[in-house]
Structure 1
Amino acid sequence: MSTTKFLLTVTIGLFFFVQKLFAQDNQVNMFIKYDLEHIADSTKKDNLIKRSMYLYIGNGGSFYSMTPMEKNQEQGALHISMDAVDQSDALVNLYTPFGTDDSPCLVTMLGQLYKVYPNKNYKIDWAITEEKRDIGGYACIKATGQFGGRKYEAWFTEEIPFPVGPWKLHGLPGAILEASDVANEVRFRYAGLDKVTDKMHLMEIDKLPELSYEKYRKALENSKADKLGAMMAQLPPDATVKFKTQDGREITREQAEALMKEAGKDKQKFQLNNPAERSIN
């Protein structure tokens, strides 16, 4: 049974609180869609983790997200994807600022929204080659770099002049459209790009409280037994919550809990023994 068939999306309305967190000067200009493939369990190489991921590019930074933003998200709708199996460490919400020395920070919901900075710097020393190819109509250049115990080959385009990329892969003089490690165990495939004409803004990270990486990891461990219950118990009493399955069908909390329990049986059969980030340089 595939560990990726079940995906629960929780839409949380924290309207008054969240509305204050969106920076009106950090307008989203475009977003890139990637198809992530990750062999996260080395004993199940034919059972890839597959997920569509989204990179939103604003004036002051980028936001790598597990779920697509909606046109009215700046009014307070949050989306959290919850998998029955803890599948891949590349499935995160990640904010990367432009023009600063700050590292990307995780954006996580643990009772409220927090920003979590890594223990070490994520800077990648890229080597730009002379190899070129076309991806999606964009002229791309190949670069190689070491990150997280893996060597990556990335294809970036100067036609999109932002130092962005999927996940924690960034820092080139143009957007990374595709990337994979040389073992071909972690892959980000280009799946499209759209300009954004509707009003959408990225979150103002400075307004979020900071949580230490150690406390974040401990909170994750504590919530593994009942991921849904742990999150629900920490929500503000006035939060409105909607549950949807991967195909967009809205369900009740009771149905969501039943699906999580059923799909969670795969958890004992699945091991995240081949993380995307094996180590931090």
Structure 2
Amino acid sequence: MKRFLLFLYVLSAIFSFSQNSIVIKYDFVQNTDNTSKIYGQFLVSNKTESYYIMPFHKVFKNYDELLNDQDYADSGRYMNSLKKTDNYILGVAYIPNNPIIKIYKDFTPEIKWKILSETKLIFNFNCQSAVGNFRGRDYKVWFTTEIPISDGPWKLSGLPGLILEATDSNGYFSFTASGISSNSSYVIPRKLINFYSENDKKIIKYSEFIFEENNALSVFRQKMMANLPKGVQLTNIPPIRKLEIEANFEWENEKQ
């Protein structure tokens, strides 16, 4: 009887997710300075495109709570997000310590995933593991073909089903689905949609955004080093992006 009920659950879920839009909440954990910081992030997806919304100032229990938080909407913090299509990603973010919002265009990654034989249940969905490298980090993920969307948290995608969990090999970054819902309406904050459409002529290359971000990170590091106690010298200074989620980039290997 239990197996039959589980079969009905999975069958109804597959039908629902194939017909409607899907909203997934991911708990994003960043552990780069020996303290774990947890953020709630949301993937809202339909068959043609998806938005990934990344609030960093407040943790929302669910997507409805985010939508109904007027202070959050008015603050403009909706802007920290990704708009994902089959061919490219539009991203909106702030340069560190800079109030200016940037909108950039990045290519949809082609991650060479290796699908493994490991399986487990997540939210009663049968999941399979896979490993792959993306911009300097090795990831192990769990995906389910029972939700037939080739998408996942942040920029991770490209498997024959939805990614529900992802962890990098250093344990610095992880994404874990903590809520899944399916709705007939594709609800995205109007302010966010308008921002993308109104700023289409201000889009910069992602390499330009990273160049500015690296400069800002370098300035921040220099200030930190200048504040060290007198006589203290650092050795073996790590690369500027060692603790960033994207450690290196494909264009850095291209011939100039």
TM-score (norm 1): 0.57
Larger Rg: 2
| Conserved? CA contact 1:71–1:199, under 8 Å | no
Give the C-alpha shift of residue 173 in structure 1: 0.8
**Partners in 1 of 2:209 and 2:113 — Cα distance?**
29
**1:105 equivalenced with 2:93 (yes/no):** no
Look up the equivalent residue of 1:107 and give its one-letter code: V
Match of 1:158 among 145, 156, 159: 145
**1:65 equivalenced with 2:50 (yes/no):** no
User: Which residue is equivalent to 2:206?
Assistant: 213
**Partners in 2 of 1:58 and 1:77 — Cα distance?**
26
**Partners in 2 of 1:115 and 1:48 — Cα distance?**
28
Give the C-alpha shift of residue 63 in structure 1: 1.1
| Conserved? CA contact 1:28–1:200, under 8 Å | no
Secondary structure of 1:104 counterpart: strand
User: Which residue is equivalent to 2:224?
Assistant: none
**Partners in 1 of 2:128 and 2:183 — Cα distance?**
25
TM-score (norm 2): 0.62
Structure possessing the higher relative contact order (Cα contacts under 8 Å, 6 or more residues apart): 1
**Partners in 1 of 2:102 and 2:42 — Cα distance?**
20
| Conserved? CA contact 1:28–1:57, under 8 Å | no
Call closer, same or farther: CA 1:191–1:138 in 2, change over 3 Å.
Answer: same
**Partners in 2 of 1:78 and 1:30 — Cα distance?**
26
- Structure 1 runs not aligned, ≥5 long: 1-26, 83-91, 225-267
User: Which residue is equivalent to 1:80?
Assistant: 77
CA deviations over 1:172-225 (Å, ceiling 9, x no partner): 11110001012222111120101124552584857623223355457668999x
Look up the equivalent residue of 1:57 and give its one-letter code: S
| Conserved? CA contact 2:27–2:41, under 8 Å | yes
- Structure 2 runs not aligned, ≥5 long: 1-18, 56-62, 218-226, 229-239, 251-256
Match of 2:122 among 135, 150, 173: 135
| Conserved? CA contact 2:21–2:186, under 8 Å | no
Give the C-alpha shift of residue 142 in structure 1: 0.7
User: Which residue is equivalent to 1:175?
Assistant: 162
**Partners in 2 of 1:147 and 1:273 — Cα distance?**
14
User: Which residue is equivalent to 1:276?
Assistant: 245
**1:185 equivalenced with 2:172 (yes/no):** yes
Call closer, same or farther: CA 1:206–1:173 in 2, change over 3 Å.
Answer: farther
User: Which residue is equivalent to 1:38?
Assistant: 30
Number of corresponding residues? 193
Call closer, same or farther: CA 1:220–1:186 in 2, change over 3 Å.
Answer: closer
CA deviations over 1:56-87 (Å, ceiling 9, x no partner): 112311111114452799xx9784169xxxxx
How do residues 115-126 of structure 1 correspond to structure 2 at under 5 angstroms?
A: 115-118=103-106, 122-126=109-113
Structure with higher helix content: 2
**Partners in 1 of 2:101 and 2:140 — Cα distance?**
33
| Conserved? CA contact 2:108–2:155, under 8 Å | no
| Conserved? CA contact 1:117–1:213, under 8 Å | yes
Query: Once structures 1 and 2 are overlaid, which stretch shifts more, 139-148 or 199-208?
Result: 199-208
**Partners in 2 of 1:52 and 1:72 — Cα distance?**
14
| Conserved? CA contact 1:148–1:280, under 8 Å | yes
